[in-house]
Chains A and B, each alone.
Chain A
Amino acid sequence: MAISEEYRNKLKKLIKNPIIMLLIIAIFLLIALFIIFPLIKVLQISFTNDGKFSLDVYKEVFGNSYMRQGFFNSLLIAGLTALIGTFLGFIFAYTLNRTDIPFKKIFKTIAVIPMVFPPFIGALAIIMLFGFNGLITAKIFGVRNFPVYGLWGLMIAQIVSFFPVAFITLDGVISTISPTLEDAAFNLKANRKQVFFKIILPLSVPGIASTMLVLFIESLADFGNPLILAGSRFPVLSVQAYLQITGMFDLKSGAALAVWLLLPSLIAFIVQKYWVGKKKYITVTGKPNTSTLKSVGPVMKWVLFAVITVISLFILLIYLTIFWGAFTKVWGMNNQITFENFKYVFDVGAESIKDTLLIALTSTPISALLGMVIAFLIVRKTFPLKRTMEFTSLLNFAVPGTVIGIGYILAFNSKPLMLTGTFIILVINFVFRYVPVGIQSGVALLGQIDPAIEEAAYTLGADDKTVFSKITLPLITPAFFSALVYSFVRSMTAISAAIFLVSANWNLMTVQILSQSDSGRLSEACAFSVILIIIIFAFMGILKLFLKNKISLVNSNQR
């Protein structure tokens, strides 16, 4: 018996219900084409020479000490950002969850602010504050050669940019550790130190590890910050790959560098998903936990308060600088208040504002809906290669934008998929890059919804389409909208992959901001950024009005 009767039955059932089958096949095709194929292209070109398999490109790249340096720098900065970012995020989350300090709401809001800004704004502000004409270094202390370019400046910029990721994950971890566990430990005559080191910390370890890995991946993939801040003094892989391709037109070396960027990222992702992810403790019991807040002593409480105040002020400083910069004539030289920058932006950048908005508004709903559909299939349906679908559809969490960008120009540069330079390629890129968050929040939410609710609909005669649109989708609206907001924000602020895909016809605001700051027009870059922020807030405001505050929008970014 080659095929079991059960398998035949399943096939027959599938054939009687072709929508789901076609959908599954279509999604596999899309994943293969827009996620896997570009990656294969990158690998392929980096491993061939004259049409034959060869390691020549790698030999060349690794024979070059400058490029070797890039690899080690990337790992170094990613490691440092992960460690310090997680440490600070933990202090922040712990203080907000386990003490009764004032202004908690304000602190919480500040901690997530960087999420809605383009990731490289941190770098821009750091130059404006600590650079050659920096407000703090040059204007206040008269220091002109403060070493912001390089490791430390970059690290600070990245920590600020990725702080929300660390805070939100760790906040989720600590807030689910039931305070009653601490009470129980106190009851057993443990002191505060013991309670922290024996209870809270061990229970947070999986969350901490997971945060570090995520920060590691984000930092490796970061492109904007190192492009602005690190330059040639502190080469990192993502920038090197970009420069190889756009500066030297050396696609092969660029691809090889991208592969080296991809590897540590993939390893971190797999460790995070399949090892750390499995180790989560569940300490929420469903019973109300009235926190008694005994685990932090009065002195410690104010020390922590001071620390998170400093962090918050620094974050505020970074982003206020951008706003201030947008209204000054020439940052650092002529601080007159002016609106000219905005006029300039509309003159030069009106097209790119329109393009960015159009692309984001097109890709966002597609991405969010696709995320929900994939989540539905993964959680509720059984079909062959289901785990493969899950893994590959989430893969873009781990693939640095630079790699994707290079993959896309390699893959879609010839017929029949001649897409480079078009609107479509940008939309497709954003759809598949930001779909993982939708999938994850959809999967998480669906996991909590009794499958019997959907089964009930089936027994009442509903087909798959009706069940999905009338039952599943309404029940996972919160996940849908958080995916919507997340992918809108990310599409508006994206740079690392998009920079390879923009063209004269279709340009993005982020690319404009980068090129403005590259040519020293910091105030104009700031004005661009401010407009970007206004668009993002307007979008969130409209959604909020539309939803009448039913759903909290700031819970994206979970992994």
Chain B
Amino acid sequence: MSLNLVNLKKVFKSDGVENTAVENFNLDIKEGQLVTFLGPSGCGKTTTLRMVSGFEVPSSGKILLDGKDITNDPPNKRDISMMFQSYALFPHMNVRENIEFGLKLKKMSKKEIKVKADKIIELTGLSGMEKRNPDQISGGQQQRVALARSLVMEPKVLLFDEPLSNLDAKLRENMRLEIRRIQKELNITSIYVTHDQVEAMSISDLIVIMDKGKIMQVGNPYEIYVRPQNKFVADFIGNVNFISGKVTEINENGIKVFNAETKKEFTGYSNQNIKTGDEVYMVIRPEGIYTEKEGRENSLTGKIEKYVFLGSNIELDLRLETGKIIHINEYNMVEKELPVTGKELEVFFGKKNNWIIKK
């Protein structure tokens, strides 16, 4: 089932004050895709999800499921299941009753219900706990009951609102893999809200980066990380150095950018429509900066401010003459010397590691 969100907008009014939670929201999700919403708190992730599930009425815009307008359908008439952050298990029903709740409403035969429930209980590893109440099982198990309860409905669309945020790190990783495996196996179109970048990177087909109710970028994890389209996205995902400048020349070798503070020219590349004279940011990831030249066209010089040795890598801060701090992340220090604080150092980065975006 494909899902299309067309120009969605939601304005909350409270005490006469208008608060735009979501606007200009356009997104096409193909059948079987898992899309994550990622963004700072309050950026409208939950609100969007609640419009899709039917708990909020959009101020304007449309929601299409397989081309059919479902904007005004009540939640129970949509083939959309939702897994809540708080699990929202029915406290007065045991595990099996929780899982079978939706099936019973579908008026299936007893036998069919049992077969389906058994299968999903097996799949989510809940065997042996069917008779227990939600308060008699662990957080991770509750999580799985919530997942099973949604999955057993074989919904066309499955929504997750920070489903793993209440779990510890280890369990979170396991559950994340499990969700992805089951989602792929059953080919369920899904939207997944999270605060956790690693989580988003590891399970998504598409990532939607949001800020203040608007989409900042849509792309697969690689595109989001390597080709951010604006400063917000570049900054939000991973660590980053920004150097601003003005485009002086564009040729087949790349884009030349002049930085006034360092009085240096850098070479980089972009997929944006950049012209000579444009004010731009150069986006340089710490792990793209090296201490060896080896054919890299750009360089920076400064004093080593401080460093942290982390085993597999070293995190190093370099203070340029202009006072700006550049973060560097170097891997595998075994064959190299440890840095000395206060020492002068020249570092290099190639044009492939210098991504250019418009200001």
Contact = CB atoms under 8 A, between A and B. Distances in A.
B and A form one assembly: yes
Interface of A: 4-6, 9-10, 12-13, 16-17, 450, 452-453, 455-463, 466, 470-471, 474-475
B276 interface: no
B336 interface: no
Contact of A13 (B53, B72, B105): B72
Contacts of A9: 57-58, 71-72
A453 B91 contact: yes
B50 to A, nearest CB: 9
Given A461-B76, A475-B91, A10 B57 contact: yes
Contacts of B153: 460-461
Given A453-B89, A471-B90, 11 more contacts: A452-B84, A452-B86, A455-B75, A456-B88, A458-B55, A458-B76, A460-B76, A460-B102, A460-B149, A460-B153, A462-B102
Nearest to B149: A460
A450 B92 CA distance: 14
A475 B86 CA distance: 17
Contact of B77 (A16, A452, A466): A16
B101 interface: yes
A455 B72 contact: no
B92 A459 contact: no
Contacts of B40: none
17 contacts: A6-B57, A9-B58, A9-B72, A16-B72, A17-B74, A455-B88, A456-B82, A456-B90, A457-B90, A459-B75, A459-B80, A460-B81, A460-B105, A461-B76, A462-B76, A462-B102, A463-B74
A13 B102 contact: no
B57 A453 contact: no
B75 A458 contact: yes
A462 B72 contact: no
A457 B74 CA distance: 12
B106 interface: yes
B73 interface: yes
A454 to B, nearest CB: 8
Contacts of A5: 58-60
B342 to A, nearest CB: 49
A458 B77 CA distance: 9
Contacts of B60: 5-6
**Top 9 A-B pairs, shortest CB-CB distance:** A460-B102, A452-B88, A458-B75, A456-B88, A12-B72, A6-B59, A452-B84, A459-B82, A5-B60
B77 A462 contact: no
B144 to A, nearest CB: 15
Nearest to A15: B72
A385 B60 CA distance: 23
A458 B56 CA distance: 13
Nearest to B59: A6
A10 B10 CA distance: 13
B11 interface: yes
Contacts of A470: 101
A450 to B, nearest CB: 5
Nearest to B99: A460
Interface string B26-41: 0000000000000000
Nearest to B84: A452
B65 to A, nearest CB: 14
A5 B7 CA distance: 13
Interface residues of B, number: 35
Contacts of B91: 453, 475
Contact of A461 (B58, B71, B102): B102
Contacts of A4: 59
Contact of B105 (A6, A453, A462): A462
A13 B57 contact: yes
A13 to B, nearest CB: 5
Given A9-B57, A450-B86, A475-B92, A456 B149 contact: yes
Contacts of B11: 6
Given A6-B58, A16-B72, A460 B92 contact: no
Nearest to B58: A9
B20 to A, nearest CB: 12
A459 B59 contact: no
Contacts of B102: 460-462
Interface string B99-115: 00110011000000000
Interface string B137-169: 000000000100110010000000000000000
A257 B105 CA distance: 56
Nearest to B53: A459
Nearest to A12: B72
A16 B199 CA distance: 38
Centre residue among A10, A13, A16 by max chain B CB count within 10 A:
A13
Contacts of A466: 105
A34 B203 CA distance: 58
Contacts of A461: 76, 102, 105-106, 153
Contacts of B106: 461
Centre residue among A9, A461, A463 by max chain B CB count within 10 A:
A461
A10 B101 CA distance: 28
Nearest to B77: A16
B212 to A, nearest CB: 20
A10 B80 CA distance: 19
A412 B89 CA distance: 48
A262 to B, nearest CB: 31
Nearest to B105: A461
Contacts of B101: 457, 460, 462, 470
A456 B78 CA distance: 13
Interface in B293-334: none
A4 B81 CA distance: 29
Contact of A456 (B57, B77, B80, B84): B84
Given A5-B59, A460-B105, A471-B90, A455 B76 contact: no
Contacts of A474: 92
A14 B92 CA distance: 29
Contacts of B71: 9
Contact of B90 (A12, A17, A453, A458): A453
Contacts of B57: 6, 9-10, 13
A444 B75 CA distance: 26
A481 to B, nearest CB: 15
Given A458-B75, A460-B149, A460-B153, A450 B58 contact: no
Nearest to A470: B101
B146 to A, nearest CB: 8
A456 B53 CA distance: 10
Contacts of B82: 455-456, 459
Contacts of A450: 86, 88
Contacts of B149: 456, 460
A9 B75 CA distance: 14
Contacts of A6: 11, 57-60
Contacts of A13: 57, 72-74
A421 to B, nearest CB: 44
Nearest to A450: B86
Given A10-B57, A461-B106, A16 B74 contact: yes
A455 B55 contact: yes
A455 B150 CA distance: 12
A461 B78 CA distance: 8
Nearest to A4: B59
A12 to B, nearest CB: 4
A461 B80 CA distance: 9
Given A5-B60, A461-B153, A462-B105, A455 B77 contact: no
B112 to A, nearest CB: 15
Nearest to B55: A455
Nearest to B60: A5
A22 to B, nearest CB: 15
A459 B81 contact: yes
A452 B49 CA distance: 13
Contacts of A475: 91-92
A461 B108 CA distance: 13
Nearest to A467: B76
B248 to A, nearest CB: 48
A461 B73 CA distance: 12
